[in-house]
Structure 1
Amino acid sequence: MSSRGIYTLANDAVYDQFIGLINSIEANVSPEIPIYVIPYNQHCDRVKREIDTRKNVIFYENKESIDRWDAFTEEVWAAHPITKQASFKRPKWYKSPLMRKMTAFDGPAEEFVFYDADSLAMQPLDKVFAKLREYDFVFDDWEHAKATPVAAFDFSLVQQDLGLLESEARTKIHCSSFFGSKRGLLNAQDQVVLKQHLIQNQEIAWINEKSWWCDADLFSYLTLRLDRPTFNFTLSTDGQDRTGNCANIDPFVVRDHLLYNKDGLKPIHRLHYMGYSSIEFARLSQGEAVQIPYAEVFLHYRFLKNPVEKPRSLKSPSPVVRFNRFMNKAATKVSATLENLVSQQN
């Protein structure tokens, strides 16, 4: 059997979510499968200390691959037509190193599954690895169903250049928060060719300007261009395969700390806390009442190894604390707006 592993991307800012993820993997996937942690940035001291206590968790820092993917990301996004507009708004994920997750393709595992750190594993990965016998990329998300104005691609350009109708191109769109693949499928040679398509041939314009610096939509372009066999469970002909995964959108039923799709009680691969900040999870882990769905499920996995530290009750922050947070948030928003204005003038 080929070597298998799991990858995630983390730093100290997402420490609580990181602990919840690796605990859920050990509980619901396997206590033996290697978990490789790619550094989001240099701030990983707490993460490293936790890794040192785990026999199956490895800090995976391939600096050559990280530098190569960082440079690739910078270069291709700098070529997007939006940068030539007189006025454009930087998205909140601007300049984020999320494409570092692609270093998994240079890692030790021959077959692997990647989870974003803001996730909880909910079932074994047997079905994903089984699909990797037939396909090179395996996904489980609904990105392909987004409305046309906010979808990953400018479908008119994709049709013009590739001859793909929107209905065909949509099936190529996917998220980057959870995927299965194989070592070497996205290598340095592929990057050279893809960069030529993206920059010299201006195929970076295929990606919706609303998706500027979005790692998921850039990844969708890469798999589209590589034209390798791809499977998405949400497009499966088997209705049992099609489930939700987003904590703030999809309805689930909780049984013994596991989530099931409310429609048909179908097991899900993971719960994705998309759109919630790491600060909210840190506060929740410290015993604050935070508006996060399935908070008790998260706390179960966050403190699975040390249940005595789990908050016994959750308390709302005082009015003073809420006011100070509101003012800090407003100041941050004003600062970001001013930074955008300055960057547009330069």
Structure 2
Amino acid sequence: MTNGVYILANDVVQDQLIALLNSLERNVGADLPVCVIPYDDRTELCRQATQDRPQVQWFDDAAILEKWETYAAQIWQAHPTAYAGWQQRGVRGVNRLGMHRRFCCFDGPFERFIYLDADILAMGSFAPFFAALDHCDFVTYDFQYKDLSHVYDVQASQLTEVFSRSRLETEIFCAGLFASKRGLFSDQQLATLLNQLQAGDAAILYPNGPDQSILNYLVMKSNIRAINLARSLPAERRTGCCVTSPHFIEQDHVLFDQGEPLTYLHYIGVGSGYFRQLCEGQNIGFPYRDLFLYYRYLHAPEQRPQFSGSPRDYQKPAQSKVQRLLKKVGLAAR
């Protein structure tokens, strides 16, 4: 297969996976090949949900899954404080180890691909990504370059020794969506990069965004031909992508940014638990909630949960039964 899409998922994000697959079918192409990379072994429900989708396959090459998990563990073992910090938080081993499995797409069935986190909805054609791959090897479309603190440890003294300030201000990206090519990193190249990390570079990595930090390092340190469409497209054609942007206009279940259709919407910052609770019938509100529900139940609208009353904002903690009772009788703080 030449072109395809990878998605990282497990049963925790089942509802999001279904919504993403439906958005791909509706807005990108019903025949676009998709390969789901298992975040971990909890995939029974997701596999059942995708078994009637002929365009979807699962990535079950145990050797490659182990290759990238081992590589990630070796990198983090070279970090001066990561393991100790994770252990204090009750994390055993590498924090969010399954997130590093996204790197399997570099060894997968597609010659050219787009990787997507499960908390995304596809809004339009992916043609610009594949077109950019004609002259680049790695393509992104986001505004992460405005916030270095979620990619590298900004307190690391050697950060600007590893990468120049100008590169740090322009080349970093979000690992939630990127386009690239199979075989981008050879085994020899990965070994060289690991040696550099073990020699001291690992200290600049950001442990709270482990996979994102590593991918940025691999791309930047290899001097790969990379492009960010958010910086290269003409200003009038660029669109946002983040769910925290309140100004998007919805037309026929597609979002527009100042007249231009979004390529994708990323529900970054909205935890998977809120999507699950919403689909279970809890009246939880978050940006572009109804758009998510439309795609989640695109092929089964009769199953879509119905709500009454005002939704509870996902950023506000739920009240306990005691608090609700006290408020009802006027004894709780309002």
Q: Note whether the superposition's TM-score is higher than 0.5.
A: yes
Conservation of the 8 A alpha-carbon contact between 1:105 and 1:184: yes
Counterpart of 2:307 (choices 296, 302, 313) is 313
Q: 1:34 and 1:112, CA in 2 relative to 1: closer, same or farther beyond 3 A?
A: same
Query: 5+ unaligned residues in a row in structure 2: which ranges?
Result: 313-317, 324-334
Q: What secondary structure is seen at the aligned counterpart in 1 of 2:45?
A: helix
How does 1:85-124 map onto structure 2 within 5 Å?
90=89, 94-124=95-125
**Kindly tell me: are residues 184 and 84 of structure 1, through their superposed partners in 2, closer, same or farther at Cα, counting changes over 3 Å?**
closer
SS at match of 1:112: strand
**Which of 293, 314, 318 is matched with 2:287 structurally?**
293
Matches within 5 A, 1:203-242: 203-208=201-206, 211-236=207-232, 238-242=234-238
Query: 1:304: which partner in 2?
Result: 298
Q: Is the 8 A contact 1:62 1:103 kept in 2?
A: no
CA contact (8 A) 1:175 1:217 kept: no
Q: CA deviation at 1:169?
A: 2.7
Query: Match for residue 76 of structure 2?
Result: 77
Aligned ranges 1:191-270 → 2 under 5 Å: 191-199=190-198, 201-208=199-206, 211-236=207-232, 238-249=234-245, 251-261=247-257, 264-270=258-264
Inter-partner Cα distance in structure 2 for 1:75 and 1:239: 41
Question: Paired residues, what number?
Answer: 314
- Cα distance in 2 for partners of 1:9, 1:86 equals 26
Corresponding letter in the other structure for 1:14: V
Moved more, 222-231 or 242-251: 242-251
CA shift for structure 1 position 322? 4.0
Q: Percent identity?
A: 30
Give 1:312 deviation, angstroms. Answer: 3.4
Report the CA distance shift for 1:87/1:230 in structure 2 as closer, same or farther (over 3 A). closer
Q: CA deviation at 1:97?
A: 1.4
Q: Which amino acid aligns with 1:274?
A: I
* 1:99–1:250 CA distance, 2 compared to 1 (3 A): farther
Deviations 1:21-55 (A, max 9, x none): 00000000100011100000001001111121111
Match of 1:323 in 2: 320
Pairwise CA distance, 1:152: 2.3
Structure 1 residues 40-79: aligned runs within 5 Å: 40-79=39-78
**CA separation of 1:196 and 1:325: change in aligned 2, threshold 3 A:** farther
| CA distance in 2: counterparts of 1:104 and 1:324, whole angstroms | 46
- 1:330 is aligned to none
| Residue 240 of structure 1: how far off its partner (Å) | 3.3
Helix, strand or coil at the partner of 1:97? helix
Whole-Å separation in 1 of the counterparts to 2:321 and 2:212: 34
Q: CA RMSD in A?
A: 2.6
Q: Does 1:277 align with 2:271?
A: yes
Distance 1:137 1:268 in 2: 20
Alignment partners' CA distance in 2, 1:205 and 1:290: 39
Q: Does the 8 A contact of 1:35 with 1:58 survive in 2?
A: yes
State the shift of 1:216 in Å.
1.1
CA shift at 1:270, angstroms?
A: 0.9
Separation in 2, partners of 1:323, 1:142:
38
CA deviation string 1:127-154 (max 9, x = no partner): 11000001100001111101x5555254
Return the alpha-carbon distance in structure 2 between the equivalents of residues 325 and 187 of structure 1.
59
Q: CA deviation at 1:197?
A: 1.0
Which AA in structure 2 matches 1:176? A
Q: 1: CA distance between counterparts of 2:158 and 2:22?
A: 44
How far apart in 1 are the matches of 2:86 and 2:10? 33
Shift of 1:186: 2.4
Residues of 1 paired with 2:264 and 2:85: CA distance?
Answer: 41
The structure with more helix, counted as a fraction of residues: 1
Structure-1 separation of matches of 2:296 and 2:261: 21
